[in-house]
């Protein structure tokens, strides 16, 4: 076992940890625990004697304080699962040493090309060592880059007692990609005052604002009958689902929005002539905007069903997470300290919002203020995913600095 952030990252990404939204268990896939057991063994070897994996797949561990004054207890958090959007089985990471610029053709599927025109951050990576996939899987930098950074940072703190800090907690979760990342986290057991997720993208970036998010399931009950006798009688649930999807506003989709504009996004359609289900995610930075989009969506459903009098529907909304900003604004030192840590590592801090969610959103809502710090990865959930060694090293250094800043300012 070697202890560089790159070596750790390469170890972790080859372990398949894809979560499954169709599963009702927690974790949704047992294979997430395979990485969990590796991480616990490594944490114990580093010297975090309380490191353990709980029944739900979550990992807890503590770096003890080495100062003789009270310091707020800080937690660093990342998630072990990878997204169900693209396969994470048999990941073959590719290293491009001293990237010289230009588009990157992936060797396992040469149709997959990481183009500079679509990934302008590559222009800031000249001379850096990049890690990609071979084009046949996602990489898993979301969020195994964050895990590797936290592991390397706590190893550094344990090896260097001259670095003064309070108690530092480690939390690795499962099922973040399907909105269940902190469902089974025991906050009382964790015992943190403040937290940070290492789950962002570009180096130097810090997010104190996220979407508010809901999931919506629309179940359609049609009228099934033999097609030979169907005239004026059949109401095909599959066609009803298609009509609803076709009626969604084109300017309210992920592919047509950016900035702080929310969206309505169908993620799956299943069913038969008799019954079909559409699953969607709804996103907005404002809770009122979220509710308005859901009302609009149900209006569309009712409008389509007006042409199918024998059919019916159910409309189920499940809260996923809420914008963290209101919570963080009440504890400005959490963000201020992170900004200073980024600055001390030689970067210009960039504070902003993220068009997505992290465990930090849920943790903040549950009373544990938790902004999101960059992990360095890009093009998440796709075979074009990539990260640079240097950016992971910067994230690691940020964690180490941040641990010391909390002790300094206590």
What is the rounded CA–CA span in Å between residue 247 and residue 239?
A: 12
| Residues that are catalytic | 81, 176
């Amino acid at each position: 076992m070697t202890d560089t952030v790159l070596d750790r990252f390469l170890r972790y990404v080859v372990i398949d940890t894809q979560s499954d939204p169709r599963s009702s268990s927690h974790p949704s896939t047992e294979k997430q625990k395979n990485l969990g057991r590796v991480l616990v063994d490594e944490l114990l070897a580093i010297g975090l004697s309380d490191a353990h994996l709980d029944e739900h797949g979550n990992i807890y561990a503590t770096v003890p304080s080495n100062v003789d004054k009270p310091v707020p207890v800080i937690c660093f958090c990342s998630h072990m699962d990878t997204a169900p959007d693209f396969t994470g089985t048999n990941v073959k990471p590719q290293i491009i040493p001293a990237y010289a610029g230009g588009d990157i053709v992936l060797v396992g599927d040469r149709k997959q090309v990481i183009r500079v025109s679509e990934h302008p951050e590559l222009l800031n990576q000249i001379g850096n060592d990049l890690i990609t996939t071979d084009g046949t899987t996602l990489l898993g930098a979301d969020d195994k880059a964050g895990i590797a950074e936290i592991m390397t940072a706590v190893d550094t703190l344990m090896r260097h007692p001259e670095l003064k800090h309070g108690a530092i907690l480690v939390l690795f979760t499962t099922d973040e990609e399907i909105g269940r990342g902190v469902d089974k986290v025991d906050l009382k057991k964790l015992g943190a005052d403040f937290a940070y997720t290492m789950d962002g993208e570009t180096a130097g970036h810090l997010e104190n604002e996220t979407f508010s998010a809901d999931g919506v399931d629309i179940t359609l009950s049609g009228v099934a009958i033999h097609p030979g006798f169907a005239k004026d009688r059949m109401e095909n649930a599959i066609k009803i689902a298609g009509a609803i999807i076709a009626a969604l506003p084109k300017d309210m989709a992920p592919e047509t929005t950016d900035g702080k504009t929310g969206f309505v996004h169908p993620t799956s359609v299943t069913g038969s002539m008799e019954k079909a289900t559409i699953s969607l995610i709804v996103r907005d930075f404002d809770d009122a905007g979220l509710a308005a989009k859901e009302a609009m969506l149900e209006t569309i459903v009712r409008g389509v069903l007006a042409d199918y009098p024998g059919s019916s529907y159910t409309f189920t909304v499940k809260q996923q997470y809420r914008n963290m900003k209101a919570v963080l604004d009440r504890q400005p030192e959490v963000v201020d300290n992170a900004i200073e840590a980024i600055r001390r590592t030689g970067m210009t801090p960039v504070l902003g919002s993220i068009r997505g969610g992290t465990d930090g959103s849920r943790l903040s809502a549950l009373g544990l203020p938790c902004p999101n710090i960059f992990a360095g990865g890009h093009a998440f959930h796709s075979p074009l995913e990539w990260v640079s060694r240097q950016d992971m090293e910067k994230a690691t250094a940020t964690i180490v600095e941040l641990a010391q800043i909390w002790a300094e300012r206590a």
